[in-house]
Chains A and B, each alone.
Chain A
Amino acid sequence: MADGGLLMAGELILGQATSGPLLRLTEPVSFWGGVDEKTGQIIDQHHPQYKVCLAGTALLMGAARGSSSSSSTLLECVRLGTAPAMLLLTERDTILPVGVAAAWEIYGRGPSVLLLPGRLDTRDGEQIRVDKQGRIYKCSAIATDE
C-alpha cells in the first residue's frame, strides 16, 4: 500500500515496482562523456547540475542529449550499481531505455522505465514510488513492495 497520494498513472515499459528520491534534470545530459559510471555523478562541467549524483534516483527527464553511446554508459552504470532507480520519461527517446533493456537481459536488474502522460508536479528529493501497474505515488515514508 502506498502511504502517499497517487500522482499519476504512467506506462511501465521496463522493470518493476521501485522507489527513489525525485531528481528533475534541468537540462538534457549525455550519459556518454557526461556521467561518471563509477560514481553516477554528472561530470559535464557545462551542465547546471554538475556533480549531482544520479545513482538510485527517480530521474525525471526529457530526451537524452548527445552521443548514442549513452546506452552503453548506462549499461555500465547498472553493472557498477550507479544507475538511477527509475527513469521517468516525458519524451519518447530510446537511447537510455535501450541500455536499461540490455541490463535487464544480461544482469537481471536495472532501473524501471516509465513513460509519463504529462507534467509531474513534485519537488526534488521527494520520495517517489511506482507500482507494477506504472502508478506513481508520492510517499512520506519508505513503502514496502508486496
Chain B
Amino acid sequence: MIRLSDDETGMLAGASGPAAALSMRVILAAARIQGAGRLIPIASAHVDSCLYHGPSSLDFARALLSGGGRVRVPTTLNVGGLDRSRPDLFAGPASHGEAARQLMDSYVEMGCQPTFTCAPYQLPGRPAPGTDVAWAESNAIVFGNSMIGLRTSRYGDLIDICAAITGRVPYAGLHIPENRAARAIFTVEQDALSRVDEDLLPALLGHHIGRRTGTLIPALDGLQAIAVTEDWGKAFGAAAASSGGVAMFHILGATPEAPDLAAATQGKPPVLTERVSGADLMAAHRELTTGAPGARLGGVSIGTPHLSAQQLARLAAQLADRQVRVPTYATTSRFVIGSDPAAAQRLEAAGVTIIRDTCTYFQPDIIDPGAMVMTNSAKWAYYAPAMLGCTVILASQSDCIESAVSGEITLSGRHG
C-alpha cells in the first residue's frame, strides 16, 4: 500500500495533465516493485532517456510531449546519440542520426537543460550533500552518492524523465539512510599502490572491486596516503559501476559519509571482507587489455566519463605543441569546453578531435573496427570491444598521449 499526498493523488488523477499522470503511473509501478510505502520529492534530475535506442524512444518522448510533459525540477541531460556541433562526425544512417537529433530536442522541449553530459557533477549548481535527487547514468549515480553525498537510487531510462515530470520518486533504495551503509570492506595493500601507475590506480581498483562486490556497497581502507580527488573518484566509480552494480562506495577518511569505519558501516557487520593486492590489480589490467603491444595503434580515446576542466587543461599541457599521428579523441561536455576554450583550441591545433554531447562508443564509424585503441578509461575498455569491435590497451594518460604523438604503442613500464 502506497500512501500518496493530495498533490500526488491529483497528478495521478490528471490534474497536472496526461503526461504527469502517465509519469505517476510509471513511478508507482516502480514503487510497488520496490515495496515503497510512499513517494518523496526530489530537488533535481539527470535524464538518460535522450539517448536514442530505436523508434520506441521517440514514441515515448512524443507521448509525454503531447500530454503536456514539462519537468517540475531542474533537469540535466545525459549524452545523446550525436555531437550537435559536429554532425559530420556521425557516419551512421542519416535516418538514425535524424531520429537521435529529434529525441535530444524532445527532451529539451520538455524543459531539460541541453547539457548532454554523462558527468552532471561537473556542471555548476550541483545540489548539497543529503539532497534527494533522481539521477540516471551509472557513473553519475555512483559519483553523486559517494563523492557528493547526494541520495539517488539507480535510475535508468524512462523512469528518469517520469521522476523529473512528477518531481517524485519511491522512498526506497539509497534514498533511505540505512541502505547506504558499507557491507563489504576492502583493504588495499601497500604493494597494490606501489606497483600501479597512479593515473591507472582508480580505474584498476574500480574494475576489481566492482567484480568482487557485485551490488554490495564497498568501503575502501588503506588509501589514506592517496589524494582522492573528484577525478579519482570519477574514474574509480565509473569502473566499478561497469564491472559490477556499484551505485555507491565509501573511502575511509575521504568520502563524505565515511569519516571512519564505524560511520561507513553504520555499525553493521560486513558480509564480505577482502584485501586487494598488486596481483589483483595486474589481473584487472590484463582483463581490460584485449590488444597486444606490438600491434598497430589505430587510435586513442580519452574522456570516458567526460573530461573535467582540470583534465582538459592537463591534456592540453601534456601535448604541448606536438601533433598526434593517429586519430585521437577527447570527450567532454559543452560546458567544460566553454569554461576553457583555450585548452580546447590547443588540443584541436594538435590534431585531437574533441567530441561533445555524446560518447565515442556511440559513434561506431569514427574508429576503425579492426584497430587497436589505447584508452585510460576502464569503462571505455569494458564496453568498446563489444560496441565498436576494436581491441583495447588500457594505459595511463601519459602513455596514451606519448603513443598518440609517436604513432606507436609506447608503454612506460609501470602500467600494471
* A33 part of interface (Cβ distance < 8 Å): yes
The tally of CB-CB contacts under 8 A between chains A and B is: 104
- Given contacts A101-B25, A106-B59, whether A71 and B159 have CB atoms under 8 Å apart is yes
- Contact partners of A107 in chain B: CB under 8 A: 59
* A132 part of interface (Cβ distance < 8 Å): no
Closest to B387 in A: A33
- Contact partners of B318 in chain A: CB under 8 A: none
Partner-contacting stretch, out of B149-157, B222-230, B270-278, B284-292: B149-157
Q: Shortest CB–CB separation between residue A144 and chain B, in angstroms?
A: 28
Partner-contacting stretch, out of A17-25, A51-59, A61-69, A123-131: A61-69
Chain A window 89-127, contacts with chain B (Cβ cutoff 8 Å), 1 for yes, 0 for no:
100111101111111011100000101000000000000
* Bound Cα distance A11, B25 (Å): 17
Are A93 and B54 interface neighbours, CB within 8 A?
no
* A136 part of interface (Cβ distance < 8 Å): no
Closest to B154 in A: A68
Partner-contacting stretch, out of B5-13, B29-37, B319-327, B389-397: B29-37
Closest to A103 in B: B56
- Contact partners of A32 in chain B: CB under 8 A: 53
Q: Shortest CB–CB separation between residue A35 and chain B, in angstroms?
A: 12
- Given contacts A13-B29, A76-B53, A105-B22, whether A92 and B60 have CB atoms under 8 Å apart is no
Which B residues between 111 and 160 are near A, CB-CB below 8 angstroms?
A: 136-138, 154-159
Q: Shortest CB–CB separation between residue B358 and chain A, in angstroms?
A: 14
Are B33 and A79 interface neighbours, CB within 8 A?
no
Are A97 and B157 interface neighbours, CB within 8 A?
no
Closest to A98 in B: B159
* Bound Cα distance A76, B136 (Å): 19
Q: Among A65, A75, A93, A115, point to the contact of B158 (Cβ < 8 A).
A: A75
Q: Shortest CB–CB separation between residue B314 and chain A, in angstroms?
A: 29
Are A76 and B157 interface neighbours, CB within 8 A?
no
Are A97 and B30 interface neighbours, CB within 8 A?
yes
* A73 part of interface (Cβ distance < 8 Å): yes
Are B156 and A98 interface neighbours, CB within 8 A?
yes
A residues whose Cβ falls under 8 Å from a Cβ of B? 11, 13-14, 32-33, 37, 63, 65, 67-73, 75-76, 78-79, 89, 92-95, 97-103, 105-107, 113, 115
Subset of 11 A-B contacts with CB under 8 Å: A33-B386, A33-B387, A63-B245, A67-B138, A69-B53, A75-B60, A75-B158, A76-B57, A98-B156, A101-B158, A105-B25
A-B pairs, 6 with minimum CB distance: A68-B156, A72-B53, A101-B29, A76-B54, A72-B157, A79-B56
